[in-house]
C-alpha cells in the first residue's frame, strides 16, 4: 500500500458522500433529533479564505459526533444571496447580479465540499430564488395584515382590530405603537368611512407600516443604508457621503416585542456578552414622560418674569424625573419636527448650518463621539412644568430623533454630557441634592441625600420624590409614568434592485398587499441597476410592471436581513410548495440546538430572527419559544502579514535584518510567496511590473527575510490564504485539524501557515499505525494489552469531554498524545485502532472513512457507527511508582501495588536497603506516606 495520499483519499470520499447522499436527514425518525446550524454565508466573489471555515469545521465536528451518538442530525447549508456587493458589481459591469451570484455560489459549494463538511445538500436554499422569497414575501404580508394587541400580548389579524372599530370605534384599543400617529373616532364614524379612509385609520396599527422616517441616505449608491453600513459619515462600500434624510419608509414594528425579546434572553444558552448587547440595544427603562410647554413671549422668558404657556409643547422622556428642578435647558435633536417652528430669525443661520453639518454624520458616529461639544441655540424657551421657570431650547447632535422623543431635559448637575455642554456654552448648573459634590469639576448623578432647591420635593429622598413628582405631573396633565425602550422599529425598505420585491401595490395612493395566490412577486428585468434619472429606485426602470396591469408596485426591495430571519425554518422542509415549512417537519425539528456564527450579528440578524419567530408563534405557525437554543461565537482568525522594505526613492528592497541602516517604507507582500518569512524573490518580481527590475539587499546567508505583523485577514493587506492551496498541499483533514489546533474556538487567533506541517506529520503517523512504514495493512486481531487499552480510553474520555465543552483544540492534542503512545507500543491491533478511527472521524473524516473501509467495514458507513464507550476500569493502575525521599530530597523510585496501604509501604521501605544507602548511618525518626504520591523518610 502506498503512503498516505490525502489528495486521492479525500476526492474519493467526497464523491462517495455526494453520490450516496450520506448526510441526508429524515424529517421523521425514532432517533432523537439534533439540529446544527451555521450562519448563512453571503457568497462574495473572493470565495473563502482560511478564516471563514473556522466555525464550519467546529459545527461539522459536533454534527459528526452527534451522529455517532445515535442522533438524527440536521446540518444544512444555503446562501444569503441578495446583497449590495452584487448590485454594485452589476452597476459597474452591466452584468445581471443573478449571474454573478450564481457563479459565486458555485465557487463556495466547491470550496465547502473540498473541506469535507457533512451538509445535507438536498436542503440547500438561496434567498434570491423566487421559490424561497415567495415565502419571505408571504411572511411580510402576514406582518402587514397584523397588529399587536397589548391586552392579549400577541399579534392578531387586522380583522380583529377592524371588528373592534366596528363595535366601539377607536376607544379602548390597547395597541403597540405611537398613539399620536392615530386618530380617534366612534363606531358610527367608522361605519361611515369609505374603504380608503378605513385603511388609512388601520395603517398606523399594522406591524408592517409605511411612515416618514429618518434614514441614512447615500446618493452615491442611490439607497438607504443601515447604521452598520456607514462609517465616519461615508458608505462602507464605495466611500460615498451619507446624510440623514426624512423619507417614506417601510418599517417593521419590532418594538411591540421588546419586552418578550428581553424575557426570552433568560431562557437560552447564549454567550453572556451577546445577551447583554441585546439587552442594551433593547434598552428597557422605567421613567416618566414630561411635557414642557413652549413659551410664546421670549422677552418675558429672558427676563425671568411670570409667563403663560401657549402653542406647541415638547415631550421629554426621562429616567430621572427627580432631577427636574435642575433642568436648566432643553436639547432637541437637529431633526426634531419643532426645530423650524421654534427657531427665531436671529438664530436661523446658525441653526441651518448646524443641521446641514449633522446630516453628514450617521447616528452611530453621533452616539460614539463623546469628546466633541457642539450645538446651536434656537432662540426659543420652554417652561419647566414643575418650577415654572423658563429654559432655553438648544439643538445638538448627541440627541437622536429616533430615540425617545428626540428631546432631553438637560440636568447638568446630574448628567456628565449635559455638564460638558453647559460648561462649554456657559449655561446654568444648579445643585439639586445635598449629596452632590464637586459640581465645578463634573456632574454628580447620585441618588443619595435629600433634595434641595427643588421646592415641591425639598427634603425628600429619591423614591419618595419620584413618586410625588409623577403624581403631580399626572394630576395636571403635564406628564405620566412610562416604561420606555431604546429599541426602534426596523427600517425595512431599501432603494435597491437586488432584493426581495415588497409585495405591496398602490390604489389611489393607498397601500394594499398583493394576494397570496399571486406570490412570488418576481424581480422584473431592467436595463440598468441604478436609480432612475428622477431619483426613483432601480425598480422604477421596469417597463409595464404593474399589479393586475394597472396598479403601481412598491419600488423598494427588502433589506438583506429579511431572508435570513427565517431560513433555518425553510431548511426543515425546503421543497414544500404549500407551506413555508410543513407542520410535521417544524414540530419534529423544533428549534436549532446549536447555532454557530459571528458575534457581529448580535443586534442585527440575531435580534430580527427572534422577532420574526415570536411573530410566527403568535400566528400559531411555530411551536417553540425561541429559534436558537444554544449559540456559540467563533473567534476570528487573524492574518499574518508580511512586509518588504523599499529604500526611499529607489527600487531597492532591504531585508529585515538590515533595514535600520536605511530610510525605508514598509510595503505589504503577498504571503503566498513567502515561506517561513523568507521571500521568494523571483515570484515577488513577477507579481507586479514595477517590481520586475527591483534589487535586493539580502541577509548574510543570501535570503530576504520579511517583516511580520498580525492584523485582520484582508485582500488589501495581501495576507489572505486560500484553503484551496493548503488542501492541495496538505489535505482537507490537515486543514480541519490545524484550524481547531490553533486555540480555543471563541478566541481570536493569528494564522501561520508554517504550523500546518506538524498536523500533516501527525496524520501520516496515524496512518502508519495501520500501515507500518507505509506498507500493506498490518492490523491484527491480537488482544490488546493493558497499556494499549489505557492509551485508547484516556483519549475516549478526554475527547468526549472536549467536544461537549466545544474545546476542540485540546482534542487535537489528545489525538497526538494517543498516537505517540500507541506508536511507542508498536500497536497495530484492531481492538484499539478501530475505535480510535471512529474517535478521530469527526475531525479527519476522509482519512477515517478510508481506514474504516480497510478494516473491513461497509464503505462510507463510519457515520452510522457507534461512538466508542469509555471504560473506567482500563485506567485503573495495578501498581504505582512512589518517589522515596530522605528529609525531602528524592533519592529513588519504589513500585507498590495500587492496593497497598500506608503501613505496607512504610514497612517495605524500612525493610529495604534504602536507609543503608542514603541514610548516612542515621535511624529513621518518621516515615510519611502520601498515598499514590510519595514517601518521605525523616532521619
Which residues are part of a known binding site for ATP? 715
- Separation CA 718–CA 712 (nearest Å): 11
With a CB cutoff of 8 Å and minimum separation 6, the contacts of 811 are 740, 798, 799, 802, 803, 843
Q: Which cell goes with 192?
A: 361611515
Are the C-beta atoms of 419 and 443 separated by less than 8 Å? yes
- Local structure of 418: helix, strand or coil: helix
| Spatial separation of the C-alpha atoms in residues 522 and 545, rounded to whole Å | 10
Distances (CA, A) of 709 to 642, 644, 667, 742: 7, 12, 12, 17
As given in the structure block, the three cell numbers for residue 442 are 463634573
Do 927 and 906 form a contact (C-beta atoms < 8 A)?
Answer: yes
CA distances from 458 to 19, 289, 324, 433, 455 (A): 81, 22, 12, 9, 5
Please count the other Cβ atoms lying within 10 Å of the Cβ belonging to residue 406.
Answer: 23
User: DSSP character for 42?
Assistant: P
Specify the DSSP class assigned to residue 776: S
Around Cβ 369, how many Cβ atoms within 10 Å? Answer: 13
What are the backbone dihedrals phi and psi of residue 412, each rounded to the nearest 5 degrees, phi first? -65, -20
Rounded to 5°, angle at Cα 74 from 68 and 75: 90
Residues annotated as binding site? 715
DSSP 713-729: --GGGT----HHHHHHH
- Nearest alpha-carbon partner for 127 in 572, 490, 498, 491: 498
Indicate the SS3 state at residue 134. Answer: helix
CB-neighbour burial class of residue 811 (10 A; exposed 0-12, middle 13-18, buried 19+): buried
> 558 in helix, strand or coil?
coil
Cβ atoms of 821 and 791 within 8 Å: the answer is yes
Tell me whether the omega of the peptide bond preceding residue 578 falls within 30 degrees of 0, making it cis: no
Q: Which residue has the cell 427676563?
A: 303
Helix axis angle, 195-202 to 158-168, nearest 10°? 110
Question: Angle at which helices 845-854 and 732-741 pack, to 10 degrees?
Answer: 130
Element (H, E) at 348: helix 348-359
* Cα 587 from chain centre: 27
Taking each helix axis as running N to C, give the angle between helix 845-854 and helix 756-770, from 0 to 180 degrees, rounded to the nearest 10. 10
CA-CA distance, 78 to 39, in Å (whole number)? Answer: 9
Phi then psi for residue 504, to 5 deg, are -130, 140
- In angstroms, rounded to a whole number, what is the distance separating the alpha carbons of residues 405 and 317? 6
Q: Which residues contact 73 (CB under 8 A, 6 or more apart)?
A: 25, 33, 34, 35, 36, 63, 66, 67
| Cβ 478 vs Cβ 463: under 8 Å | no
697/708 Cα distance (integer angstroms):
18
Calculate the alpha carbon distances from 246 to 211, 235, 357 in Å: 10, 18, 15
CA atoms within 13 A on the CB side of 561: 21
- Residues 575, 149 contacting (CB under 8 angstroms): no
Nearest to 339 by CA among 290, 297, 377, 373: 377
- Sign of the torsion angle spanned by Cα atoms 805, 808, 811, 813: negative
Amino acid at each position: 500500500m502506498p503512503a498516505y495520499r490525502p489528495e486521492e483519499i479525500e476526492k474519493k470520499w467526497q464523491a462517495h458522500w455526494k453520490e450516496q447522499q450520506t448526510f441526508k436527514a429524515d424529517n421523521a425518525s425514532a432517533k432523537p433529533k439534533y439540529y446544527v446550524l451555521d450562519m448563512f454565508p453571503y457568497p462574495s466573489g473572493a470565495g473563502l479564505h482560511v478564516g471563514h471555515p473556522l466555525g464550519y469545521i467546529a459545527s461539522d465536528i459536533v454534527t459528526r459526533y452527534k451522529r455517532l451518538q445515535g442522533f438524527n442530525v440536521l446540518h444544512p447549508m444555503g446562501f444569503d444571496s441578495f446583497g449590495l456587493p452584487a448590485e454594485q458589481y452589476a452597476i459597474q459591469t452591466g452584468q445581471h447580479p443573478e449571474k454573478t451570484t450564481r457563479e459565486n455560489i458555485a465557487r463556495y459549494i466547491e470550496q465547502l465540499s473540498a473541506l469535507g463538511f457533512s451538509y445535507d445538500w438536498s436542503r440547500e436554499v438561496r434567498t434570491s430564488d423566487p421559490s424561497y422569497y415567495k415565502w419571505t414575501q408571504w411572511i411580510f404580508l402576514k406582518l402587514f395584515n397584523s397588529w399587536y394587541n397589548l391586552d392579549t400580548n400577541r399579534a392578531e389579524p387586522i380583522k380583529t382590530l377592524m371588528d373592534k372599530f366596528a363595535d366601539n370605534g377607536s376607544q379602548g384599543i390597547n395597541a403597540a405603537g405611537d398613539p399620536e400617529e392615530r386618530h380617534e373616532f366612534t363606531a358610527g364614524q367608522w361605519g361611515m368611512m369609505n374603504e380608503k379612509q378605513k385603511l388609512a385609520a388601520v395603517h398606523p396599527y399594522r406591524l408592517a407600516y409605511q411612515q416618514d422616517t429618518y434614514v441614512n441616505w447615500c446618493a452615491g449608491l442611490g439607497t438607504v443604508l443601515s447604521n452598520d453600513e456607514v462609517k465616519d459619515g461615508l458608505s462602507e462600500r464605495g466611500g460615498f457621503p451619507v446624510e440623514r434624510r426624512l423619507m417614506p419608509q417601510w418599517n417593521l414594528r419590532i418594538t411591540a416585542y421588546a419586552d418578550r425579546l428581553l424575557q426570552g434572553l433568560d431562557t437560552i444558552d447564549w454567550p453572556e456578552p451577546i445577551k447583554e448587547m441585546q439587552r442594551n440595544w433593547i434598552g428597557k427603562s422605567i421613567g416618566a414622560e414630561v411635557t414642557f410647554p413652549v413659551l410664546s413671549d421670549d422677552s418675558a422668558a429672558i427676563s425671568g418674569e411670570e409667563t403663560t404657556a401657549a402653542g406647541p409643547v415638547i415631550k421629554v422622556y426621562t429616567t430621572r424625573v427627580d432631577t427636574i428642578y435642575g433642568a436648566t435647558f432643553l436639547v432637541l435633536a437637529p431633526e426634531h419636527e419643532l426645530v423650524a417652528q421654534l427657531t427665531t430669525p436671529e438664530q436661523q443661520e446658525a441653526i441651518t448650518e448646524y443641521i446641514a453639518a449633522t446630516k453628514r454624520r450617521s447616528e452611530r458616529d453621533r452616539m460614539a463621539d463623546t469628546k466633541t461639544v457642539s450645538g446651536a441655540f434656537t432662540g426659543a424657551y420652554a417652561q419647566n412644568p414643575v418650577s415654572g421657570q423658563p429654559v432655553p431650547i438648544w439643538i445638538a447632535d448627541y440627541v437622536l430623533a429616533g430615540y425617545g422623543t428626540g428631546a432631553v431635559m438637560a440636568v447638568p448637575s446630574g448628567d456628565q454630557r449635559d455638564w460638558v455642554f453647559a460648561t462649554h456654552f456657559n449655561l446654568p448648573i444648579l445643585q439639586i441634592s445635598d449629596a452632590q459634590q464637586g459640581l465645578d469639576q463634573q456632574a454628580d448623578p447620585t441618588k443619595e441625600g435629600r433634595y434641595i432647591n427643588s421646592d415641591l420635593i425639598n427634603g425628600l429622598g429619591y423614591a419618595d420624590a419620584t413618586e410625588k413628582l409623577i403624581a403631580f405631573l399626572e394630576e395636571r396633565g403635564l406628564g405620566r409614568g412610562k416604561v420606555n425602550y431604546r429599541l426602534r422599529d426596523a427600517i425595512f425598505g431599501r432603494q435597491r434592485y437586488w432584493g426581495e420585491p415588497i409585495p405591496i401595490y398602490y390604489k389611489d395612493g393607498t397601500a394594499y398587499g398583493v394576494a397570496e395566490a399571486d406570490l412570488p412577486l418576481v424581480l422584473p428585468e431592467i436595463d440598468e441597476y441604478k436609480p432612475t434619472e428622477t431619483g426613483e429606485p432601480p425598480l422604477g426602470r421596469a417597463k409595464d410592471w404593474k399589479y393586475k396591469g394597472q396598479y403601481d408596485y412598491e419600488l423598494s426591495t427588502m433589506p438583506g436581513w429579511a431572508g435570513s430571519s427565517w431560513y433555518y425554518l425553510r431548511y426543515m422542509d425546503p421543497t414544500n410548495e404549500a407551506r413555508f415549512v410543513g407542520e410535521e417537519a417544524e414540530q419534529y425539528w423544533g428549534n436549532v440546538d446549536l447555532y454557530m456564527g459571528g458575534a457581529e450579528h448580535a443586534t442585527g440578524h440575531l435580534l430580527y430572527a427572534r422577532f420574526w419567530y415570536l411573530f410566527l408563534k403568535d400566528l400559531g405557525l411555530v411551536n417553540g419559544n425561541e429559534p436558537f437554543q444554544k449559540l456559540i461565537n467563533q473567534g476570528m482568525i487573524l492574518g499574518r502579514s508580511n512586509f518588504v522594505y523599499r529604500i526611499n526613492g529607489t527600487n531597492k528592497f532591504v531585508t529585515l535584518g538590515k533595514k535600520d541602516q536605511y530610510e525605508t517604507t514598509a510595503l505589504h507582500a503577498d504571503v503566498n510567496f513567502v515561506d517561513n518569512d523568507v521571500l521568494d524573490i523571483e515570484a515577488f518580481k513577477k507579481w507586479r511590473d514595477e517590481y520586475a527590475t527591483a534589487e535586493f539587499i539580502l541577509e548574510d546567508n543570501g535570503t530576504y527575510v520579511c517583516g511580520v505583523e498580525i492584523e485582520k485577514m484582508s485582500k488589501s493587506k495581501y495576507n489572505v490564504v486560500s484553503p484551496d492551496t493548503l488542501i492541495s498541499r496538505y489535505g482537507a483533514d490537515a486543514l480541519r485539524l490545524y484550524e481547531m489546533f490553533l486555540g480555543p474556538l471563541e478566541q481570536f487567533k493569528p494564522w501561520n501557515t508554517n504550523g500546518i506541517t506538524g498536523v500533516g506529520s501527525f496524520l501520516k503517523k496515524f496512518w502508519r499505525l495501520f500501515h507500518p512504514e507505509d506498507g500493506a495493512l498490518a492490523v491484527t486481531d491480537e488482544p490488546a494489552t493493558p497499556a494499549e487499552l489505557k492509551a485508547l480510553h484516556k483519549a475516549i474520555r478526554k475527547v468526549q469531554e472536549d467536544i461537549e465543552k466545544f474545546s476542540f483544540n485540546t482534542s487535537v492534542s489528545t489525538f497526538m498524545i494517543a498516537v505517540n503512545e500507541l506508536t511507542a507500543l508498536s500497536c497495530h491491533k484492531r481492538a484499539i485502532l478501530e475505535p480510535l478511527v471512529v474517535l478521530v472521524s469527526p475531525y479527519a473524516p476522509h482519512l477515517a472513512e478510508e481506514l474504516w473501509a480497510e478494516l473491513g467495514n461497509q464503505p462510507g458507513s463510519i457515520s452510522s457507527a457507534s461512538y466508542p464507550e469509555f471504560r473506567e476500569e482500563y485506567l485503573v493502575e495495578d501498581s504505582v511508582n512512589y518517589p522515596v525521599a530522605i528529609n525531602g530530597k528524592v533519592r529513588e523510585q519504589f513500585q507498590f501495588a495500587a492496593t497497598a496501604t500506608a503501613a505496607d509501604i512504610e514497612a517495605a521501605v524500612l525493610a529495604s536497603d534504602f536507609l543503608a544507602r542514603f541514610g548516612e548511618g542515621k535511624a529513621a525518626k518518621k516515615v510519611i506516606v502520601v498515598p499514590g504520591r510519595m514517601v518521605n523518610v525523616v532521619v
